[in-house]
């Protein structure tokens, strides 16, 4: 991985500053404005080889969280009936 590379990553966790966190090749990728469940295409803007972490900017949201939330709401409605 190098600065300015494009990667596709699924957000698996949230950082203390509210950024989404995904992982590729052992690197923790911090992506502003992404949340758990998002699949994003992002550009690496900063890369720290020692800490094995990178900051990225979203270029495209490939799987939107709204679809996941709708499915979860539908499941909750089924349980309530």
For the chain, what is the mean pLDDT? Answer: 82
* Residues 26-61 pLDDT 10s: 889 998 888 898 888 888 888 898 878 888 787 777
Percent of the chain whose pLDDT exceeds 90? 20
Tokens of 55: 């900051």
Q: Cα(63)–Cα(39) distance, rounded to whole angstroms? A: 5
More confident residue, 62 or 46: 46
Q: How many CB atoms lie within 10 A of CB 55?
A: 16
CATH architecture observed for domain 6-80: Beta Barrel (2.40)
Write down the pTM of the prediction. 0.69
How do the domains of the chain map onto residue ranges? 6-80
């Amino acid at each position: 991985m190098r600065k300015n590379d494009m990667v596709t990553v699924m957000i698996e966790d949230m950082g203390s500053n509210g950024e989404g966190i995904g992982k590729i090749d052992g690197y923790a990728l911090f992506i502003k404005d992404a949340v758990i469940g998002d699949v994003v295409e992002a550009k690496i803007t900063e890369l720290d080889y020692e800490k094995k972490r990178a900051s990225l900017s979203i270029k495209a949201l490939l799987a939107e969280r709204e679809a996941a939330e709708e499915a979860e709401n539908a499941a909750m409605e089924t349980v309530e009936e």
